[in-house]
Amino acid sequence: MTQTTLTRIQYQPHPDAGRVLTAGALAFLDELHTRFDARRRELLKARQERQQQLDAGELPDFLPDTAHIRAADWKIAPLPADLLDRRVEITGPVDRKMVINALNSGARVFMADFEDANSPTWANCIEGQVNLMDAVRRTIALEQGGKSYRLNDTTATLLVRPRGLHLEEKHATLGGEVLSGSLFDFGLYAYHNAQERTTQGTGLYFYIPKLESHLEARWWNDVFTFTEETLGLTRGTIRATVLIETILAAFEMDEILYELREHSAGLNCGRWDYIFSFIKKFRSRHDKILPDRAVVTMATPMMQNYSKLAIQTCHRRGAPAIGGMSAFIPVKNDEAANERAFAQVQADKEREATNGHDGTWVAHPGMVALATEVFDRLMPGPNQIDSGKQADLKITAADLLTPPEGHITEGGVNTNVDVSIQYIAAWLEGRGAVPIHNLMEDAATAEISRAQLWQWAHHEQRTDEGTPITPEGLTRLIDAHAARLKAEQPGREDRISEAATLLKRLVTQEQFEDFLTLPGYQHLA
Ligand SMILES: CC(=O)SCCNC(=O)CCNC(=O)[C@H](O)C(C)(C)COP(=O)(O)OP(=O)(O)OC[C@H]1O[C@@H](n2cnc3c(N)ncnc32)[C@H](O)[C@@H]1OP(=O)(O)O
Ligand SMILES: O=CC(=O)O
Ligand SMILES: [Mg+2]
């Protein structure tokens, strides 16, 4: 660890530390940590307490204590001009080439991701900040593979997703305590880019991941207010879109918007973490077992109800409701498979636009034109906030809590094992989003795969073909897939072994691990 004389924060060396971890930035991180980290830890403790209640048989419902907030008429602060039309948003990790390509992709928004799409190596986190600083200043450039990468004249509006509250930045400590990953990513981006963004006539825009309650939203709101006061920014310079991607947050959408009303830029349906959260929160329940991952789609009633409730809630509050990510990406060298991928994305985007979403996510620049065509056709205005769509909808707790029907198959089990090993190995290598079997896989999608294996074994499920799913059977299957993958992917043997060992632990242990990235992080350089 290195220590400067000007700060109490100690950090691992990195060639770009001089640019990112400046005395001023470290002092700001110190203030954020000192003021907000104890509360973050309390919020994480509250998650554990809530889990105990769920394990004891309680089911979530809309909160009686906040009924007055749901009943009252209020709206979030007016949206800034550059967040009025968000019809297509591309997401991607904070890698330099991806940042340039995403900003140039033709999408309205680019969400630069320190979360699901990022493996939080020290290098990725520090270099990601450099890339964003250069992007904001429009100096970002790259020569790679014989190509020159520069920004176009017109680029997407930049939103940044810091890590979730559960993740820590072990490479930076204060008084022996590791810093919060959320505060580290948020604080550095805000500190380095606030003045530049204000001068450019725009704001500091964020996506906030994996919230489980409106009290967590209140924490973020306090962080934003403190940041605006400390950096001399007008109230509302910071705007955040919250991902509704946990089953508990689905019951507190109004309250989350209310807490953040001066800083809100709406909600987004993070479908993949939402499915993962459903499995995780109901780990102890035999009546909440999900079928094969491939059949838990946005077309199922449970997922439709969640998406429509987000639309209804947001529009009543003058907020955009952004849709989610179809995992299909363009397929190279297989025209028929490529056509199927585009058809899947088209159907998904048509469903979202018809329901009333104000925009959507795509994983790949190749999908931007398709999603834009769908929203141009089905959403003539800049958004659908005043469309009245879903205004009369009545969603009950049961509508959100009834799992989709479907089968657990040998194919589903094998795909989950294969994808989990491949993804964890890539994540340990420093890649947080990868194509596997022509689908985008990231931390959220991989969490579903490994969580399903635990759920099915723990609740003694059988496949449709009659095979009992047991810890011993899964161990054998993981070994077999790992052996095959090592033969197919020479050079990655050690990582595949490491990933298989971690996966075996995750799916066979008695306790459900809350995030695979927590034990994973102990392996990360
Ligand atoms: C559940 C959730 O949280 S969803 C949000 C988080 N997940 C993500 O953001 C995933 C985003 N997508 C990706 O990371 C990528 O598309 C992947 C990993 C799935 C596939 O990437 P690749 O294998 O590089 O795709 P491919 O080879 O087709 O890429 C072609 C070009 O598009 C670029 N590209 C692909 N995806 C993106 C993206 N999301 N943003 C910017 N550029 C991209 C590649 O860099 C490449 O550029 P080049 O031609 O200049 O070399
Ligand atoms: O972050 C998005 C998700 O689907 O998870
Ligand atoms: Mg997510």
Residue 387 φ then ψ, to 5°: -75, -20
Residue among 442, 450, 492, 495 flagged as catalytic: 442
Whether ligand 1 lies within 6 angstroms of the CB of 433 is answered as: yes
The atom number, within ligand 1, closest to the CA of 432 reads 14
> 493-508 and 471-488 helices cross at what angle (nearest 10)?
170
Whether ligand 2 lies within 6 angstroms of the CB of 272 is answered as: yes
Whether ligand 2 lies within 6 angstroms of the CB of 116 is answered as: yes
Whether residue 312 contacts residue 253, with contact meaning beta carbons closer than 8 Å, is answered with no
Which of the ligands is closest to the CA of residue 327?
1
Kindly report the protein residue whose alpha carbon is nearest to atom 19 of ligand 1. 440
| Secondary structure element (H or E) that encloses residue 343, with its range | helix 335-355
- Exposed (0-12), middle (13-18) or buried (19+): which is 332, by Cβ within 10 Å? exposed
Dist CA 39 CA 24 (whole Å):
24
CA of 438 to the centre of ligand 1 (A): 12
Whether residue 11 contacts residue 125, with contact meaning beta carbons closer than 8 Å, is answered with no
Two structure tokens written together for 326: 């179809």
Kindly report the protein residue whose alpha carbon is nearest to atom 2 of ligand 2. 270
Q: What is the sign of the dihedral through the CA atoms of 32, 38, 42 and 48? A: positive
Which of the ligands is closest to the CA of residue 427?
1
Residue 111 φ then ψ, to 5°: -95, 110
CA of 323 to the centre of ligand 3 (A): 12
Two structure tokens written together for 445: 């999608």
Whether ligand 2 lies within 6 angstroms of the CB of 245 is answered as: yes
Two structure tokens written together for 286: 């035999």
The atom number, within ligand 2, closest to the CA of 324 reads 4
Task: Determine the length of the chain.
Answer: 525
Strand-strand pairing, 168-174 and 177-180: antiparallel
Whether ligand 1 lies within 6 angstroms of the CB of 117 is answered as: yes
Residue type present at position 377 = R
Dist CA 492 CA 508 (whole Å):
24
Residue carrying the six token digits 């499915």: 275
Which of the ligands is closest to the CA of residue 114?
1
Whether residue 161 lies in the annotated active site: yes
All domains of the chain in start order, with CATH: 1-58+81-202 (3.20.20.360), 407-523 (1.20.1220.12)
pLDDT value at residue 185: 99
| Secondary structure element (H or E) that encloses residue 18, with its range | helix 17-20
Dist CA 361 CA 270 (whole Å):
10
The atom number, within ligand 1, closest to the CA of 92 reads 9
**Among 432, 365, 440, which Cα is nearest to 116's?**
432
pLDDT value at residue 443: 98
Dist CA 75 CA 72 (whole Å):
10
CA of 269 to the centre of ligand 2 (A): 7
Two structure tokens written together for 282: 């109901």
**Among 167, 196, 199, which Cα is nearest to 184's?**
167
Which of the ligands is closest to the CA of residue 445?
1
Residue among 96, 108, 161, 351 flagged as catalytic: 161
* Cα radius of gyration rounded to whole Å, the chain: 22
Dist CA 471 CA 508 (whole Å):
5
Which of the ligands is closest to the CA of residue 99?
1
CA of 268 to the centre of ligand 2 (A): 9
CA of 367 to the centre of ligand 1 (A): 10
Whether ligand 2 lies within 6 angstroms of the CB of 444 is answered as: yes
Dist CA 316 CA 254 (whole Å):
9
CA 96 distance to own-chain centroid? 19
pLDDT value at residue 7: 80
Whether ligand 2 lies within 6 angstroms of the CB of 270 is answered as: yes
CA 330 distance to own-chain centroid? 21
The DSSP symbol for 405 reads P
Whether ligand 2 lies within 6 angstroms of the CB of 325 is answered as: yes
CA 265 distance to own-chain centroid? 16
The atom number, within ligand 2, closest to the CA of 444 reads 5
Dist CA 465 CA 469 (whole Å):
11
CA of 124 to the centre of ligand 1 (A): 16
Whether residue 245 contacts residue 200, with contact meaning beta carbons closer than 8 Å, is answered with no
CB atoms within 10 A of CB 389: 19
Kindly report the protein residue whose alpha carbon is nearest to atom 4 of ligand 1. 325
CA of 153 to the centre of ligand 3 (A): 30
The atom number, within ligand 2, closest to the CA of 361 reads 2
Dist CA 93 CA 102 (whole Å):
10
CA of 272 to the centre of ligand 2 (A): 5
pLDDT tens, residue order, the chain (525 aa): 655 546 899 999 999 999 999 999 999 999 999 999 999 999 999 999 999 999 999 999 999 999 999 999 999 999 999 999 999 999 999 999 999 999 999 999 999 999 999 999 999 999 999 999 999 999 999 999 999 999 999 999 999 999 999 999 999 999 999 999 999 999 999 999 999 999 999 999 999 999 999 999 999 999 999 999 999 999 999 999 999 999 999 999 999 999 999 999 999 999 999 999 999 999 999 999 999 999 999 999 999 999 999 999 999 999 999 999 999 999 999 999 999 999 999 999 999 999 999 999 999 999 999 999 999 999 999 999 999 999 999 999 999 999 999 999 999 999 999 999 999 999 999 999 999 999 999 999 999 999 999 999 999 999 999 999 999 999 999 999 999 999 999 999 999 999 999 999 999 999 999 999 999 999 997
The predicted model scores a pTM of: 0.98
| Cβ neighbours of residue 505 closer than 8 Å, sequence gap 6 or more | 519
- Exposed (0-12), middle (13-18) or buried (19+): which is 39, by Cβ within 10 Å? middle
Dist CA 296 CA 290 (whole Å):
8
3 state DSSP class of 205: strand
Whether residue 179 contacts residue 132, with contact meaning beta carbons closer than 8 Å, is answered with no
Whether ligand 1 lies within 6 angstroms of the CB of 365 is answered as: yes
Kindly report the protein residue whose alpha carbon is nearest to atom 3 of ligand 2. 270
Strand-strand pairing, 177-180 and 204-208: unpaired
